[in-house]
Amino acid sequence: MGSDIGRPLDIDLLEKEQQPWAASAIANVILAVLVVAALALLVTTLALWNSMRADVAALNDRLVAAQAVVSQAATPLPEVVALQQDLDATRRQNARLEADLLTLSGRKVTWGTALNAVFTQAGPDVTVSSVRTEGRLVTVTGDAANLDVITAFTDRLRATGYFINVVIQMAATQGTPLPTPTFPPLLPTMTPGPAAPTATMLPYPLTPTPSYPLVPTPSWTPVPTWTAMPTWTPQPTYTPLPTYTQPPPTPMPPPPTFVAVRLRNISFSPPSLAPGGVLRVEMTVENIGNVTLFSEDQPPPGYTYNEGQVSPPGIAGRWRVGIDVQANALANMHRYRWGLGGPLVPGSSRVVIGYVRLVTPGVYTYCAGIVQEFVRWYANCAGAATITVTSPSTPTPTATPTIAALPSPTRSPTACADGYEPDNTWQEARVIGANTSLAQVHTFHVFGDTDWVKFAVMPNVTYTLRTFNLTNGADTMITLYGNEGGVLHQLAQNDEDPGNATAIPPRAGPSRIDFRPTTTDTTRFGTTFYARLNSPNPSNFGCTKSYNLSLTSGPSSQRFGGAQLVRMSVDETRPAPAIGSAPNEALPAMERNVEHRQALASAPAQRVSFIIVLELRGGGP
């Protein structure tokens, strides 16, 4: 047997009891492997759990934001609902206006025809003071004798067929303030449409989050496959509807406004007359524009002027015709003017007649004109005619006058003396009434001429005596007297009206005295006071040196003291008592002319003021 020295030792050849360390080593290796695996699994599980928690929190935040977006998208914004309602209302209104426009255009209803109906249907008992238009509405204000007359007026307007609605908005006795007229709506009241339905937000389906239990033992548990949540697609952002702005409907163009008037058929007669004779002028006024011409009231057609008398001031915008000698007419200084006798509607014409009493001999060229007071003259010297006033020694040519000559007032021997002569002493003083419609016209016709007037007073009432409309450089001075037992006592004197210096432009010549008699004054002097009028320069005289004289008392609501002027028939054989005078004191004959004078009368029973609103019919009559 060979020797085994130097050969490696095979441990497997040893007995088991001789290898105790081998089993312990294997167990340790296996245990170490298991511990390492458990630690790796634990670390992986913890990392996965933390990742899942972060994913769940992020998904929850996205879910809340998405639900808010869905909620806003399902419910329209209040602004969007309001805009939609405004859009619907505008569309309905536009449809109505377009229908009205087509109807009015198709039937060709004109404003001129409808407004003409307002004036033609008024009648003699209705006074129309103003007509105002707004859209298809016409507001008429004025006054009438009573409520029955107003009702009949509205019935006539309705019967014309031009108006679909005729409403008496207000009727009250004069003196009651009228309210500002209101207009009924042209369109029915808009009712908002039903609100948009509110959408109900459905819950968003969520995939339940899986539960991941912790591994209680080091034994390996396979990790479940993670199913990722579906990607959230955000809802589209809600874009509000664009605001729709309805263009305003094109309104019917109003008819162009133009003022045009024409004078025709102008005649003066007779061509020759004696001093004191009456010149008659007749002319036709034709309104060829589309605006109603409103007449000045004073003086009315038919009034008779004395030579040199000047018409009272007019109201701005009102219309009058006038005549004068050619030189004055070309300078727009027509002294003799008359109203048109009422409103002159478009397309109509009216004959106006007036009279002037001429006293100065000579040959004159007279012509006529028409004026819108304080605006412009539309004709200033039309229908020129030559008029001859013969001398007293020259026989008057035979002519057929168109009217009977009026009675001539009593005159002094001087041909150009005014109609109040003789009035050169206080015993010859002429009565002047307070608040009369027409002023007295006097002239300083001779060297040192004086004019005396007298008037009745009441204690504690203010009276104003003034001169105005001075012609050709005339100048006046007023002196006021009280009569105590036949002896005159001077109470006041004035040369220049205090308002002369502040007038624009400043003027010179007119005079004014404001006098308020007390009870002591009337006890001492009685109720009749006297005034002397003279020129401060006695050499300032002549037939053309004339002035107007008026007397007013107390506050007055109207230009002539609030009284109404009416035509009266006066018996020439009986003296006509002057207003404010004693019963036996009479006006001059020229103030009592039957045919062509107007006298002051008491105001009639209270009239009823009204406001009527008319709506133009879309379809016409």
Q: Is residue 281 exposed (0-12), middle (13-18) or buried (19+ Cβ within 10 Å)?
A: buried
Partners of 284 in beta bridges = 264, 351
Residues of the chain with pLDDT > 70, as a percent, come to: 67
Q: Which of 163-167, 208-212, 400-404, 526-530 has the lowest mean pLDDT?
A: 400-404
Whether residue 139 is predicted with pLDDT greater than 90 in this model: the reply is: no
Place of tokens 């990392």: 47
For residues 86 and 338, the model is more confident at 338
State residue 587's pLDDT score: 32
- pLDDT tens-digit series, residues 2-40: 555 556 655 555 555 555 555 567 878 888 888 888 888
Q: Mean pLDDT, to the nearest integer, of 230-250?
A: 70
For residues 498 and 533, the model is more confident at 533
State residue 516's pLDDT score: 94
Q: How far apart are CA 399 and CA 402, in angstroms?
A: 9
Partners of 280 in beta bridges = 269, 355
Q: Is residue 597 exposed (0-12), middle (13-18) or buried (19+ Cβ within 10 Å)?
A: buried
Q: How far apart are CA 353 and CA 300, in angstroms?
A: 9
State residue 10's pLDDT score: 58
* Best mean pLDDT range from 107-121, 124-138, 287-301, 411-425: 287-301
Q: Peptide bond preceding 270: is omega within 30 degrees of 0, i.e. cis?
A: yes
Whether residue 569 is predicted with pLDDT greater than 90 in this model: the reply is: no
> Of the candidates 449, 457, 388, which has an alpha carbon nearest to the alpha carbon of residue 416?
449
* Best mean pLDDT range from 243-257, 489-503, 514-528: 514-528
- pLDDT tens-digit series, residues 393-441: 544 444 444 333 333 333 334 568 888 999 999 999 999 988 876 789 9
Mention every residue, 6+ apart, whose C-beta is less than 8 A from residue 412. Answer: 421, 422
State residue 272's pLDDT score: 94
Whether residue 572 is predicted with pLDDT greater than 60 in this model: the reply is: no
**Which H or E run contains 106?**
helix 78-107
For residues 188 and 388, the model is more confident at 388
* Token code pair at residue 62: 């996205």
Whether residue 48 is predicted with pLDDT greater than 50 in this model: the reply is: yes
In degrees, to the nearest 5, what angle opens at C-alpha 558 toward C-alphas 170 and 125?
45
Q: How far apart are CA 471 and CA 449, in angstroms?
A: 16
* Token code pair at residue 520: 């002591």
Confidence band for 336, pLDDT divided at 50, 70 and 90: very high
Q: How far apart are CA 443 and CA 412, in angstroms?
A: 12
Q: Peptide bond preceding 401: is omega within 30 degrees of 0, i.e. cis?
A: no
Tell me if 449 sits within 8 A of 595, measured CB to CB. no
pLDDT, mean over the chain: 75
Q: How far apart are CA 367 and CA 324, in angstroms?
A: 6
Q: How far apart are CA 364 and CA 382, in angstroms?
A: 15
Query: DSSP letter at 577?
Result: B
* Best mean pLDDT range from 4-8, 187-191, 348-352, 566-570: 348-352
**Residue 137: phi, psi to the nearest 5?**
-105, 145
Mention every residue, 6+ apart, whose C-beta is less than 8 A from residue 556. Answer: 435, 562
Tell me if 561 sits within 8 A of 491, measured CB to CB. no
Place of tokens 């952002």: 237
Q: Which of 197-206, 295-304, 485-494, 502-511 has the lowest mean pLDDT?
A: 197-206
Q: How far apart are CA 361 and CA 389, in angstroms?
A: 5
State residue 451's pLDDT score: 95
State residue 275's pLDDT score: 92
State residue 468's pLDDT score: 93
Q: Mean pLDDT, to the nearest integer, of 49-57?
A: 85
> Of the candidates 616, 611, 620, which has an alpha carbon nearest to the alpha carbon of residue 180?
611
Tell me if 151 sits within 8 A of 144, measured CB to CB. no
Whether residue 600 is predicted with pLDDT greater than 80 in this model: the reply is: no
Q: How far apart are CA 315 and CA 298, in angstroms?
A: 10
State residue 107's pLDDT score: 52
The bridge status of strand 304-306 relative to strand 487-494 is unpaired
For residues 22 and 155, the model is more confident at 155
Q: How far apart are CA 496 and CA 467, in angstroms?
A: 10
State residue 563's pLDDT score: 29
**Which H or E run contains 33?**
helix 20-74
Q: How far apart are CA 533 and CA 451, in angstroms?
A: 5
For residues 195 and 495, the model is more confident at 495
Q: Mean pLDDT, to the nearest integer, of 175-184?
A: 51
Whether residue 339 is predicted with pLDDT greater than 90 in this model: the reply is: yes
For residues 263 and 190, the model is more confident at 263
- pLDDT tens-digit series, residues 69-121: 766 665 566 777 888 888 888 888 777 777 666 665 555 556 677 878 888 88
For residues 81 and 213, the model is more confident at 81
Whether residue 166 is predicted with pLDDT greater than 90 in this model: the reply is: no
Q: How far apart are CA 39 and CA 47, in angstroms?
A: 12
State residue 404's pLDDT score: 36
Whether residue 356 is predicted with pLDDT greater than 90 in this model: the reply is: yes
Torsion over CA: 215, 218, 219, 222 (sign): positive
Report the amino acid identity of residue 134: E
Residues of the chain with pLDDT > 90, as a percent, come to: 29
* Token code pair at residue 274: 């004696």
* Best mean pLDDT range from 307-321, 379-393, 464-478: 464-478
